[in-house]
Each structure stands twice: as C-alpha cells, then as structure tokens.
Structure 1
Amino acid sequence: MEPTGQQRGVSAVVIHYFMANFGYFGLLSSLVVMLTAKGLQASQVALLMALFTFANKVAKIPLAPWLDGSPAPRSVLTGCVIAAVGLATLGQVQQLPLMALALMLAGVGISINNLASKQLGAAVSDSMQSRARLFSVINVAVNVASAVAAPLALYLVDRKQYGWVAAGIAATYVLAGVLTWLRLHRVAAVMQKAGSSNWRTYRNLLQRPGLRAFLLINAFGWFLYGQLFNTLALYVSSALDSASKLGWLYSLNAVLIVTLQLPLTHIAERWQGGRPMRQVTLAFTVFMLAFIAAWAVPGYPGAVVFVVLFTLAEMLFIPSVDVLLLGLIGQESRAVAYSILSISTAVGESLGGGFGVTTWRWMSNHNHMSEFWLLVAGMALVFVGVTGYLQRSSAGLRAIPQGA
C-alpha cells in the first residue's frame, strides 16, 4: 500500500477492533443478566450460554477455508451483520428455542468477524516495518473497549434497559462492519484472497516447519495467562478476603496496557533486535517473576505487584503471537492458520485456568496455598527452558526473519 493507504488501513483496523470489542465485551458483561430477566431458569441460562460459546468458538473451524477465499473487508461486514441480526432478534423474542437460534447466529457472526479481523490486521501489517507495533495498538484498542463497554452495559442493565443494551450492541456491530468495509473495500492490499483452502489445508499447515512447536509455545503462554482471571480471583477473594478490591486489580491491568503497551513494544523491539522469539522467552520469565512476587510479598500489596509484573509479561507475549504466526505462514491460508491458533489458545487458557483453580483449592485445603505461586513459577521456568529448546531445534522457528 502507498503511505496514505497504509495509514487508512491502520486506522480502520484499530477502529474496527475497538468497535467490535466494544460490542463483544458489552455483550459478555450483560448477557447472563439479560437472559435471567427474561424469566429463564438457571439451567436454561447455562444452556444458552453454552450454545453461544460453542458457536462463537467452534464455527471458525469449518468457516476458515471459506474465509480464505473471501476478501477480508467483505468477511468483516458479513460477520458483523450476522452478529447484529442475532443480537437484535435476541432482544425481541421470549421463547427458548428462538433465543437459542438467535444466540447461535450471533456466535457464528462474531466468530466470522474475529477471524476476518485477524486477516485484515495481517494484511495491513504486511506493508509495515514493524508488525508488533500494529498488534500492540490493537491490544490497546481491545483493552480500552473492554474498560468502557462493560461498565456502560452494566449501568444500563442495572436500570433494566435490556432492550437498549441488545439494540445498542447490534448497532455497534453493524456500524463496525459498514465503516470498515467502506474504508477498505477499495484498498487492493486488503482485498487480496489467500487462495483456495479446504480441510486438507489444516493438515498441510500443521506440517509446516515450526508451526507445531509454535502452537505449543502459544499454549504455554495462555496456560500462564489463565491464572489472571481464575486463580487470582480465588486468591484475592478467599485467602486475602478482599473480593471488593478484585475489580481494582483488573482495572489496573487494563490501565497499564493502555498506557504502557506502545512504549514497552518500542523498548522491547530495540532491546530484542526485532526477534519475537526472544520477546516470548522474556515474557515467560516475567510471568515467573510475577508468580514469585505473589508468594514473596504478603497480602494485597503482593497481588498488586503480581498484576503489574503479570501485565508487563502479557504486553510482551500477546503481540508476539501474531508476529510469530505470520512469520511462519507468510500470506498463505491465514484464516485457517488463525483458526488453528485459536484452538491452541483455547486449550492453553482452559487448561491453565482449570489447573490453577483445582490445584489452588487442593493446596489451600492442605495449608499450602502460598506455595501454589512457587509451583506455577516453576512451571513458567520450565516453559522458558522448553521454549529455548524448541527455538534451537526447530528450523522453522529459526528461519523467522528479524522483525517478522
């Protein structure tokens, strides 16, 4: 793209991520309350949430080959409109089967938009000297959206404005899709198709040198990340008896990302020489220090130090994931590749969260709750060692160009 096209692409992608995630986090924070307000039983709410989650997480697997054959701006528009139709329908119906269909439709639309947004960001980053900077700005936009949308949606829900919440989220998705398509549908660099993909593409990508090692490393990172919203919540609410202060910790996490992500990315690029694998190894090391701090610093101040260090590690890790993936696959089958990555992420985060909650409860029952943080720190150290070994032994990871 020409410089003006690149600037238009960057701003369009960042604005789209903000708007789409504004709708998504507004939905996540209020959906259970809205469903309960319709007079549903707890088991029915749980069923609807499971159907929405299933559609949101799984739909991308069969749809990814189709998305590779469609220009990303068109796919973004399609996904956003489908999500909006599902959410608008949800706000109008009262029957359980219709609510289930509406939520599954919304989940499919959100899934399409998520993959297409990744394709869009990848296409824009192709012409940039530093992919990490774009993905860092996107990370900031996502966290700003989360910090604003959830309180606003809950404010309206608290005043029983359920219809306005559903309609507002639907309108946000429509606006996000339409604006992005209008701004980018004539930009040649983002309208290119990845070519024909099918189920064999999954197998072919998994055989690409370095990809399986990268997926394992990615799962390691999300395993550690899974401790933030699971084990930390248990630790602060149970061991520290400070449940009312838990929200401040998550707010601190968001504020640090918004204010420090870009400066940290700039510093890390200069220090690491544009080598994303080094940045991932550093992230795992900082994760380890965060867990040690939770053990070493007593009480709520220890939780604060933990969140500060943990957030630094998160800011190092998350942009590097996209940079590494695109360095491994180039411009080939990006929707399918991101679909595979999402599976690795889901496995790592779910295993991490499940391990953290289960192990912490068991250790706390045996009066060893503080030692849990040393256990996870030891696991992070192991991940550092395994990551270094995989980097040295994988030709694909070694071949990733500097700056990717």
Structure 2
Amino acid sequence: MNKIKTYLGQFHTIVWVLLIGTVLARGSAFMTLPFLSIYLSRNMDLPPVVIGLTVGMSPLMATVGGFIGGHLSDRYGRKKVMLLSLFTLAIVYYGFTIASSQGWFILLNALNGLCNSFFEPTSQALMADITDKKNRMKAYSLRYTAINIGASVGPLIGAYLAATSAKMSFAITGTTYLLYAIVLFFFLQRLVIPQQKESKKMVSIINAFRIIRKDRALMFLILGSILVNIGYVQLDSNLPQHLEAKLQNGVVIFSVLLSINAVMVVVLQMPISHIAEKFKPMQAMLAGSIFMAAGLFGFSFVSGWVTAAFSIILLTLGEILIFPSSSILIDHLAPENLRGAYFGAGQFRKIGNFLGPVLGGFLLSHVHGQVMFWIITVITLGSLFFFTAGNKVYIKTRVAGIEKI
C-alpha cells in the first residue's frame, strides 16, 4: 500500500486527472476518427483524394493552431485554454452527428484539429509545470500509454459502430469530452496549482516565434517529424481503404491492427522508454524511423492476417521510440518562459499529418496501393537525415552548455 501511495505521490493530482481523462477521451475518439475515411467513402461516395483532404484538415489546423495555443497558455494561463478547448471539442463531435455534407465534415474536422492543437501542448506544458524534472520522462510516457489504453479498446467498439450506427460513436465521443471538461474544471477550481514560472517573463508571439526559429535542433526535430508523420498517418487514412480493397473483412482486420498497435504500446512503452533513456532522444528517434519505415514497407506486401500483423508490430516499435522521445526533447530544449510555445511549435510536425492523407490518397487514386506504400516508405526514411543533423546540434549544444537565445 505504501508503495502505491509513493508511486501516486510522484505526480500532482491534476496529472492523474489528465491521464485518466486521456484514456476516456482518446478511447472515444478512436471509435470515430480512424473510421472517418471509411464512413465518408461508404456514405458520401467521395474519391480518395477528397477523403484525404477531409481527414487531413484536422492536422492542418493543428499545425496552424498549435504554436498559437501554446503561446496563449504561456500568456493567459493553462486552465482557460484547456477548458475552452475541451468544451468546444464536445460541440464538434455533437456536430458530426448531424453533418450531412462534405463541407460540414471539413469544417468540423478543422475545428477538431484546432481545439486539439490548443489542448495537447497546453496539457503537456501543465504536466511539466507541476512535475519534478526527474519525473517528467515518466509522466510523458504515462501520458502516451494512457492514449494507447484508450486506443486499444476504441477501435474494436468503433468497428462495430461503423457497421451499425456511426453517428452514435460521434455522440458518445462528444459526451465523453463534455464530462472530461466538467471534471477537469472541478479539480482545477478546487486544487492549488503552482504558479507558472512563465508569467514572470513574457514575450510577444512574434518574438517567441523568432526565438524558436533560431533553435536549429528544434527545427531539425520538426522537419524530421513531418516526414515521419506522413508515413504514420497512413495508418488512419489510406491503410483502411487499401485493406478493404485488397482483403476480405478488411475493416475487421484494420480494427484488430489498431488494437494490436495500442496494446503493444501499453505493454512495451515503459520498458522500451527505460532502455531508450540510456541513449540520446534523437538516437532513439533514428531507430524508430527505421522500424516505422519497415512497417510501412511491409504493408505494401500485405496478403492476410500474418503479414498485416507483422507490419503493424514493426510500425508500433517505431512509434514507441519516436513520440515520447520527441516530447522529452522539446522539454529539454524549451526555456522556462517559453515551454508552452515550444510544445505548441512542436505541433508544426502535424503538417505531415495533413500532407500524408492527401499525398497517399492521390497516389492511391493513380497507382497501385503497393507503389503508394513504397513511395511513403522512402519519404519516411528521409527523416533520418534531419534526425541525424538534429542529433549533432543537440549534442553540441548540451556539451558546450550554450544557453538558447
């Protein structure tokens, strides 16, 4: 019992609220968004490139909004930005239940991306604000594990609802976000949150952008992550269409692959993160890029359950290495007064989440799915160049002890 109390005591109560909320909210979201491309294909008879554009609107707006949301959280406080984002997300998902045209889906998915881009960097910055530096890597890993606990259940429920009542899944997700917002509001009002250090030294959004632009390690991290995300986002956008066209029960296989992906992350995230701590964050990301590219390459030869499962295992290993390492690297790079802005700037990597569905959809319309995955694999491997360059800058900066401007 004492060990449990000690473990729980490592983090502020708000951190645990955010982790539990992440499980429920992401679990609900994974019931809907991974199946959005299938829903649009079946119910609106849209070509793959238009579906890719619709799905890609969320990460496109996340790219635009991430830096702004992170900066606003530095200037006006984490609470206001987080709560406004969650309440708006609830409205967005309720909106999906009544949307009847492509334009509404594009608008709602754009708002979804914008709100998530405000909430995600702000919640990560808040976790860093109220967590001891020695425990932050563990907090980020727990957060990523929480995302995937939700993702391990959501796709299975989503596969059932996609075949029966897709609009019900949107309503459930909207209700979950609404309850999350209410509970978080209650705890934020009742609990004492340490004052943000950022408030002592604020800069304008233009100056913050200039400071971040000069950080070459961050720039290389974002550029490499854009290429990685072009590959990774195929999992939610063009892979389900590829499987449905090539395999019997493609949607069922797709939902099982998502659950395999999530369960692997839940089980392996902490042990692999422990091993990865012995290396530089960029080095872990290099290895992750190779695994992810191998998984994408495997999908080009998918012929049944075995090849599909083997490919998702490789891709998941890459995912586990890349994404938590990215968060801890941004935390290391960020000055205290710009932590929210830095996490927001990290959202620029979601340019890849926008380009991926559109590029993949275009290729899927003009070439065989196998060729599409070959091209995406090469693009993903291009991240190695940027991560290698970023690793050199990162090591040089750390060793020299240069303070960022």
Distance apart, 1:310 and its partner CA: 0.9
Distance apart, 1:203 and its partner CA: 2.3
After superposition, where does 1:123-142 map in structure 2 within 5 Å?
Answer: 123-125=129-131, 127-142=132-147
- Cα contact 2:296–2:311 (8 A) shared by 1: yes
Distance apart, 1:24 and its partner CA: 3.4
Corresponding residue number in structure 2 for 1:175: 179
The correspondence for 2:318, drawn from 288, 307, 313, is 313
Q: Structure 2 vs 1, CA of residues 159 and 385 (structure 1 numbering), >3 Å: closer, same or farther?
A: closer
Quick check: 322-331 or 229-238, which moved more?
Answer: 229-238
After superposition, where does 1:97-176 map in structure 2 within 5 Å?
Answer: 109-125=115-131, 127-152=132-157, 168-176=172-180
Q: 1:229-265 CA distances to partner (integer Å, 9 max, x unpaired)? A: 4554455444556625333222221221122222221
Counterpart check, 1:218 vs 2:225: yes
Corresponding residue number in structure 2 for 1:75: 81
- Cα contact 1:85–1:106 (8 A) shared by 2: no
| Largest Rg, 1 or 2 | 1
Distance apart, 1:75 and its partner CA: 2.7
Q: 1:302-335 CA distances to partner (integer Å, 9 max, x unpaired)? A: 3321111110111110101111111111323233
Q: Structure 2 vs 1, CA of residues 259 and 156 (structure 1 numbering), >3 Å: closer, same or farther?
A: same
Counterpart check, 1:65 vs 2:71: yes
After superposition, where does 1:290-301 map in structure 2 within 5 Å?
Answer: 290-291=295-296, 293=298, 300-301=305-306
Counterpart check, 1:334 vs 2:339: yes
The correspondence for 2:194, drawn from 183, 189, 192, is 189
| d(CA) in 2 for partners of 1:189, 1:288 | 42
Corresponding residue number in structure 2 for 1:347: 351
**Can you give the 5+ residue segments of structure 2 that lack an aligned partner in the other structure?**
1-5
- The two structures have a TM-score, normalised by structure 2, of 0.74
**Can you give the 5+ residue segments of structure 1 that lack an aligned partner in the other structure?**
none
Partner letter of residue 179 of structure 2? L
| d(CA) in 2 for partners of 1:238, 1:96 | 23
| d(CA) in 1 for partners of 2:104, 2:362 | 36
Counterpart check, 1:388 vs 2:396: no
| d(CA) in 2 for partners of 1:81, 1:321 | 28
Corresponding residue number in structure 1 for 2:3: none
Name the structure, 1 or 2, with higher relative contact order (CA <8 Å, separation 6+).
2
Partner letter of residue 388 of structure 1? T
| d(CA) in 2 for partners of 1:31, 1:359 | 19
- The two structures have a TM-score, normalised by structure 1, of 0.74
Partner letter of residue 291 of structure 2? V
- Cα contact 1:86–1:104 (8 A) shared by 2: no
| d(CA) in 2 for partners of 1:378, 1:48 | 25
The correspondence for 1:364, drawn from 344, 368, 371, is 368
| d(CA) in 2 for partners of 1:353, 1:33 | 13
- Cα contact 1:327–1:400 (8 A) shared by 2: no
Partner letter of residue 276 of structure 2? A
RMSD: 4.6
Corresponding residue number in structure 2 for 1:204: 211
Q: Structure 2 vs 1, CA of residues 363 and 130 (structure 1 numbering), >3 Å: closer, same or farther?
A: farther
Q: Structure 2 vs 1, CA of residues 309 and 200 (structure 1 numbering), >3 Å: closer, same or farther?
A: same
Q: 1:126-153 CA distances to partner (integer Å, 9 max, x unpaired)? A: x142433222221221122234345546
The correspondence for 1:14, drawn from 12, 15, 19, is 19
| d(CA) in 2 for partners of 1:341, 1:351 | 16
Q: Structure 2 vs 1, CA of residues 138 and 73 (structure 1 numbering), >3 Å: closer, same or farther?
A: same
Percentage identity across aligned positions?
20
Quick check: 105-114 or 218-227, which moved more?
Answer: 105-114
| d(CA) in 2 for partners of 1:27, 1:129 | 36
Quick check: 177-186 or 258-267, which moved more?
Answer: 177-186
| d(CA) in 1 for partners of 2:188, 2:286 | 36
- Cα contact 1:82–1:108 (8 A) shared by 2: no
Q: Structure 2 vs 1, CA of residues 31 and 384 (structure 1 numbering), >3 Å: closer, same or farther?
A: closer
Corresponding residue number in structure 2 for 1:246: 254
| d(CA) in 2 for partners of 1:196, 1:173 | 32
| d(CA) in 2 for partners of 1:154, 1:17 | 21
Partner letter of residue 84 of structure 2? T
